Amino acid sequence: MSTRTPGSGATIYQVAALAGVSIATVSRTFGSSESVAPRTREAVLAAARELHYVPTASARALAVRRSRALGVVLPHIDGAYYAELLVGFEVAASKLGLSIVLALERPGAARPSTLTDLLGRVDGVAFMARSGADDETVRRVAEVRPAVSVARGQVDGVDAFFSENRRTAQDMTEHLIGHGRRRIGFVGRPEAGSDIGQRHQGYLEALSDAGLRPARQWPVDPVEEAGVEVAGQLLADGGPGDLDALVCGNDELAAAIQDRLTAGGVEVPDRLALTGWDDTVTARYLRPGLTTVRQDVARLGGLAARRLAARIDGDPAQEAVTVGTSIILRGSCGCPPHDPAPPAGPGSP
């Protein structure tokens, strides 16, 4: 039986030798850490970190059977989007009799020990959105555990789940152009393969089709603080200038920008039209209401959980799954005020 970890070259024997323990203790550490003394467990994990060792399924099987747990890697759980995604995943997992183990890894702040510890406690891993786990890390994990990804770039061998982004963002930008907007900017970090990257691509395609050039761009993280900073920059410049619309990567950015600009005397949509994405509760209660895009985030999380469980049971990889989205028109783009019925709550069928 091989215990060599793909990519790293380290073996369970090398970890055991460096930590000064038996290979059975190493296996128990990664499979059922409660049965290992804390000091011994830390020695094993330290050796694994030094050797860049990730336990293979066969090595873990030396001591344990299935954990009946699914791992979830997220950048954070701030904001409605991540909370709803996680709830959808957890509800589906619970119906299958599975628990979840959550690891929060912000981009640029990844701790190798966090993922190594997670792999010893779960049967498969869902990588959600942009986190500290880059594509190479996801690829390596997929070689030793079943894995799925949600709302991030697709990796070979990993079942992927997306919301429709590019086409809907193109339609949204075309809608703004139909309102006579010609200098349309974009707020959000357009990373390749990410949801916001796809939205940016749709925005660019709509402008190109209309013979327009992109206006000012703000490649910022999709968080409230970044929206406040963007609005502050515009106000410091004396207002939007010739900018007449902004396509924002999500509602958190758009709501912060709208609130700050309105307080600063910039009228929305007369002076500047705004759109968001996610149809959060805040979007419905802003005045004017925020034109945005509705996506069934809880369903996306549920699909990922069920697919990960199927992969653990031996099902082969499948094609990527894309969940539809729809534009919700309100007053911030220039449409007459209109408040569509809110979506069903998280976990609803």
Q: Grade residue 108 by pLDDT with cuts at 50, 70 and 90.
A: low
Instruction: Say yes or no: 56 and 172 in one domain.
Output: no
- Per-residue pLDDT, 55: 66
Q: Are residues 195 and 329 in the same domain?
A: yes
In a domain? residue 160: no
Q: In this model, does residue 309 exceed pLDDT 60?
A: yes
Residue 28 belongs to some domain of the structure:
yes
| Helix axes of 224-236 and 251-263: crossing angle, nearest 10 degrees | 40
- Alpha-carbon distance of 34 to 285, in angstroms, equals 48
Task: Confirm whether 182 is domain-assigned.
Answer: yes
Q: How confident is the model at residue 112 (pLDDT cuts 50, 70, 90)?
A: low
Please determine, for residue 10, whether its predicted confidence score (pLDDT) is greater than 90.
no
Q: Are 38 and 94 in contact (CB under 8 A)?
A: no
Whether residues 58 and 178 fall in one domain: no
- With beta carbons less than 8 A apart as the criterion, state whether 53 and 18 touch: no
329 and 197 within one domain: yes
The whole-number average pLDDT for the span 273-281 is 95
Token pair in block for residue 13: 């024997």
Question: Looking at residue 1, what is its pLDDT?
Answer: 38
Backbone angles phi, psi at 320, to 5 degrees: -60, 145
2, HSE (Cβ side, Cα atoms, 13 Å): 6
Instruction: Indicate if 47 and 184 belong to the same structural domain.
Output: no
Reply yes or no on whether the pLDDT at 273 is more than 60. yes
In terms of Cβ atoms closer than 10 Å to its own Cβ (0-12, 13-18, 19+), residue 349 is exposed
Query: Rounded to the nearest 5°, which phi and psi values hold at 222?
Result: -80, 60
27, 49, 65 — which closes off a domain?
A: 65
Residues of the domain holding 34: 1-65
Residues 184 and 329 in one domain: yes
User: Whose structure tokens read 């709550």?
Assistant: 345
The whole-angstrom separation of Cα 107 and Cα 40 is 30
Q: Specify if 158 maps to a domain.
A: no
Q: Which residue has the higher pLDDT, 157 or 346?
A: 157
Q: pLDDT tier at 29 (50, 70, 90 boundaries)?
A: confident
**Inside any domain, residue 189:** yes
Looking at mean pLDDT, say which of 63-77, 161-175, 308-322 comes out highest.
Answer: 161-175
Q: How confident is the model at residue 62 (pLDDT cuts 50, 70, 90)?
A: very low
More confident residue, 227 or 317: 227
Is 346 within the bounds of a domain? Answer: no
Shared domain for 58 and 170, answered yes or no, is no
Which domain-ending residue is among 65, 88, 120? 65
Q: Is the pLDDT of residue 216 over 90?
A: yes
When the pLDDT of each residue in the chain is averaged and rounded to a whole number, the result is: 86
CATH of residue 236's domain is 3.40.50.2300
Q: What is the pLDDT of residue 33?
A: 52
- CATH number of the domain residue 9 falls in: 1.10.260.40
Domain match, 35 and 174 both: no
- Do 196 and 329 lie in one domain? The reply is yes
Number of domains forming the structure of the chain: 2
- Domain assignment present for 11: yes
Do the Cβ atoms of 28 and 18 come closer than 8 Å? no
How far apart, in whole angstroms, are the C-alpha atoms of residue 284 and residue 275? 12
Lowest mean pLDDT among 116-120, 133-137, 242-246: 116-120
Q: Within this chain, do residues 329 and 182 fall inside the same structural domain, yes or no?
A: yes
**Does the pLDDT at position 244 exceed 90?**
yes
Residues whose CB is less than 8 angstroms from the CB of residue 159 and which lie 6 or more positions away in sequence, other chains included: 147, 148, 149, 307, 308, 311, 317, 318, 320, 321
Q: Is 207 part of any domain? A: yes
Average pLDDT (42-48) is: 86
- % pLDDT > 90, the chain: 55
Report the predicted TM-score, pTM, of the whole model to 2 decimal places.
Answer: 0.74
C-alpha 76/C-alpha 103 separation (Å) is 9
**C-alpha angle with apex 171: 168 to 177, nearest 5 degrees?**
145
pLDDT top residue among 156 and 309: 309
Final residue of a domain: which of 65, 82, 97? 65
Please state, for a pLDDT cut of 70, what percent of the chain lies above it.
87
Q: Is the pLDDT of residue 110 over 80?
A: no
- Indicate the Cα dihedral angle 209, 210, 212, 215, nearest 10°: -90
DSSP H or E run through 148: strand 147-150
Let me know whether 177 and 288 are in one domain.
yes
Q: Of 76-90, 133-147, 201-215, 277-291, where does the model show the most confidence?
A: 201-215
Up-side HSE of residue 58: CA atoms within 13 Å toward CB? 9
